[in-house]
Amino acid sequence: MSTSPPPKLATLLASFDEAALGALASVGLVRRAAKDLEKSAAGISVEGTADEGVTVTLADAVVTIPEAGPAGARCSCPAGARCRHVVMAVLYLQKTLSAGTGDGIAEATQPMVGVGPDVELMGYSVEALTKFAGKKVLRDALRLLGATPEVEIAEGAGGGAVVRFTNRNIDVRFFPGGGLAGMVTNAPAKERERVAVAAVLAYQRRHGLALDLGEEATAAQAALGESASPPRSRAEIVASAVGLLEEMVAVGLSHVSPGMRERLTTLAISAVGANLPRLSLTLRGLAEGVRLFLARDAQADAERFFADLARAYALACGLRGDTVPSPHLVGQHRTHYEEVGSLALHGVGAYAWRTASNYSGLTVVFWDQSAKRFNSWSEARPRHLAQGFDPIDRYQQAGPWDGAVSPGHVATHQFKLNRAKRNDFGRLSAAAQTGAVLLSPTRPMEIDFGNRLFTNWQALRAYAGRAYPVGLAARNPHDDIVVLKPSAWGEKSFDAVTQTFTWWATDDVGDVMALELAYSELTQPTIEALEKMDVKNAGAWGVLGRLEFKAAGMAVMPVSMFITAEKATELAVVNPGLDRGLSRRPAASAVTAAVDKDEAEADEEGELESEKPALIPPALETRLAWVEDRLQAVAERGRKSLSGALIDELTEAAREAEAAGLGMLCQGLEALARNRGAGEVVRLKYVLQLHRQVGYRVGVEA
């Protein structure tokens, strides 16, 4: 006996493509089911059910598909659901509908008016979502969206919709008339309801609808509140931080004391207890900066320290108040990793680094071809707890996953990572259950790097302008990773004064870009290897690098070299100083320059101002440059050094800023001229930073 599915179910079945079936079960099961169906299609029967579904009787199992569609299908086999029998049943019904057999097929395959995802998804209320998943799951979904995941939405011609959380490797597929029960996702079983609700809310927001989530939104934000009964309240800690930073400027940064370092460290510890991880990390960085000044270390930089202090002050001020602060201001104590299934990755580079807060580590960079984005894995230690940890040695040691030879091996090979765990920024976890299946060496010239491959430096500068950090906004540090394919490789040099290696690269129109690497005990082997590299004989095709924003403009820090397949006798990805010439570093007494930034702290460190103030008129820029120099002197010497000449310049600059329509800048200048307080000095410094940052963006994108 054979009958056709009812119209609603028929429409759902017609919407199920190969990708949807793969998400329902797996790609392997879909292939196997298709082969099995060819052998046994003749003995299959279909009957209707009371709930407007169908029962498909196969040779070795009975599959029941409800009106909501294949997502709710049940099988009589031990698997129970999402098995090859369910896929066989769906494929058989699709084949039957396509062939036009059974009763009422023409009617069954007609689009269902008014039940497409554009109507259904926009129509879900808070009550409906709560009924489907419960309050706890709704709150969990809101927390997921609060982490600002990368979301893509695709709407198919047949009325289906796909919401992709690209950074979590999760697709949620909705089908006409299927409702929430009929959605299909590749998320782990325990996550399906949460991602379904999050997908509905993301869809609604993208289309201009913001539900009033009331107490559920408040409960979801509770994690941003302070810990229960901390030793010091959040308000006390933030107020103390603001007061200490003002005091440091009032006294003068050139007069910092061991006591100030201890107070910064104590506040950083207290901030952890009050659930303020970002403030804690920022204060720790400032404490390390004070240590460098007290030790008269060559890495101590007064301008950079003042910029970092201004950012810390702005963060502390942003955390003040009775309202729950934004998630990116609170930060996270520890990155949360989500299981994202299997990933096909290409190792494209690795580098050793050290941060201003005295952490050192190794980072390996991967390209996720399916999502067109960079991923990374890092291992780090605080230097005082390193206990022999060496980033360069770690490159050759075992791990980071079962099946991986070493970080150096996965940095240069393509592989499949099973049961991978990844956070929202694209960092991969070295979880014990994750395993790697190694394949062939990476061939960068065969990879589609999408919008991260540049052959024209003006296009690179435009991208850098969009990626350039502004204010305290959260950002993905992987946005700084780019691939350059020069048309010609230029001269190399090492500046003994700035302790910087520079290599000039020419683009397809003759423009030049600096590849720069600051000297340190960790980068010395890399610099030596790059100095010796003969690009013609090596067959250099391109370079993987990280964007760096400096006072003189933009530069690229070289990470790995890409060698053409013809020249690559062993590897096409070369990490200079790690793969080759692993010479040991000099004694600790050697001269060192500014340290490299770790991705984990990139958004906590101050950025140097650009020399392209596109938003500021030239006459005002000249005056502001003088004001900024004087602000630096006041910050270093103390508030008492505020002079009448500076007040006059501030007053005149405020008038010019107002005339130019720069209201925030005008207010900052007037406030310092009127009150002459340390807080006004720091605030004006931060406001100037904001204008420089926005000016840089506008300037490079113009």
Instruction: Look at 120-124, 376-380, 612-616 and tell me which has the smallest mean pLDDT.
Output: 612-616
CB 368 within 8 A of CB 344: yes
- Given CATH 3.40.1000, say whether it is the number of domain 338-442: no
592 pLDDT above the threshold of 50: no
pLDDT at position 696 is: 64
Output the CA–CA distances (angstroms, integers) from residue 334 to 165, 278, 281, 331, in the order listed.
21, 11, 12, 9
Backbone angles phi, psi at 304, to 5 degrees: -65, -40
CA-to-CA dists, residue 210 to 183, 200, 205, 674, angstroms: 22, 11, 6, 43
Q: What is this structure's pTM?
A: 0.67
Q: Taking 70 as the threshold, does the pLDDT of residue 601 lie above it?
A: no
Tell me which H or E stretch contains 344: strand 338-354
Question: How many other CB atoms are found less than 10 A from the CB of residue 123?
Answer: 11
Nearest to 531 by CA among 591, 584, 590, 580: 580
Whats the size of the chain, residue-wise? 702
Amino acid in the structure at residue 127:
E
Considering the chain, what is the average pLDDT of its residues? 81
Tell me the two tokens of residue 145: 């969206």
Torsion of CA 422, 425, 430, 432, to 10 degrees: -30
Q: How far apart are CA 262 and CA 77, in angstroms?
A: 66
Query: 267 pLDDT band (50/70/90 cuts)?
Result: very high
Torsion, CA 515, CA 521, CA 522, CA 528, rounded to 10: 50
Say what the pLDDT of residue 212 is.
66
Q: Give SS3 for 487.
A: coil
> How far is Cα 423 from Cα 333, in angstroms, rounded to an integer?
13
Which of 239-253, 288-302, 679-693 has the highest average model confidence (pLDDT)? Answer: 239-253
Are 572 and 442 in contact, with CB atoms under 8 Å apart? Answer: yes
Determine the Cα–Cα distance for residues 273 and 226; give it in Å rounded to an integer: 8
Say yes or no to pLDDT of 608 above 60.
no
Percent of the chain with pLDDT over 70: 83
Q: For residue 203, is pLDDT > 60?
A: yes
What is residue 22's three-state secondary structure? helix
Q: How confident is the model at residue 502 (pLDDT cuts 50, 70, 90)?
A: very high
For residue 199, pLDDT over 80 is answered with yes
Asked whether residue 167 carries a pLDDT value surpassing 50, the answer given is: yes
Over its C-alpha atoms, the chain yields an Rg (Å, rounded) of 29
Higher pLDDT, 687 or 214: 687
Q: Which segment of 310-319, 567-576, 605-614 scores lowest on mean pLDDT?
A: 605-614
Whether residue 388 is predicted with pLDDT greater than 80 in this model: the reply is no
The region, left, alpha or beta by phi > 0 then psi within -120 to 50, assigned to residue 403 is left
More confident residue, 42 or 542: 542
Return d(Cα 119, Cα 124) in angstroms, integer: 9
Q: Where do runs of H (alpha helix) occur along 252-301?
A: 258-273, 277-294
The residues with which 438 forms a beta bridge, in sequence order, are 415
SS3 label, residue 390: coil
Residue 383 in this model has a pLDDT that exceeds 80:
no
More confident residue, 608 or 288: 288
Q: Kind and range of the H or E element at 91?
A: helix 84-99
* Segments of 167-224 assigned E as strands: 170-174, 184-185
The predicted pLDDT at position 112 comes to 43
The predicted model gives 370-394 an average pLDDT of: 84
- The DSSP bridge partners found for residue 75 are 63
Among the listed ranges 216-230, 378-392, 579-593, which one has the minimum average pLDDT value? 579-593
Query: What pLDDT does 59 receive?
Result: 86
pLDDT of residue 485: 96
Would you state the structure tokens that stand for residue 234, as one six-digit string? 């959040």
**For residue 612, pLDDT beyond 60:** no
Instruction: Specify the range with the lowest mean pLDDT, choosing from 104-113, 207-216, 256-265, 595-604.
Output: 595-604
pLDDT band for position 251 (50/70/90)?
A: very high
Average pLDDT of the residues in 87-96? 88
Quote the tokens at residue 34.
């298709």
**Which pLDDT score, from 0 to 100, does residue 697 have?**
65
> Residue 583: what pLDDT?
39
Specify the pLDDT at position 13: 83
Q: Is 469 exposed, middle or buried (0-12, 13-18, 19+ CB in 10 A)?
A: buried
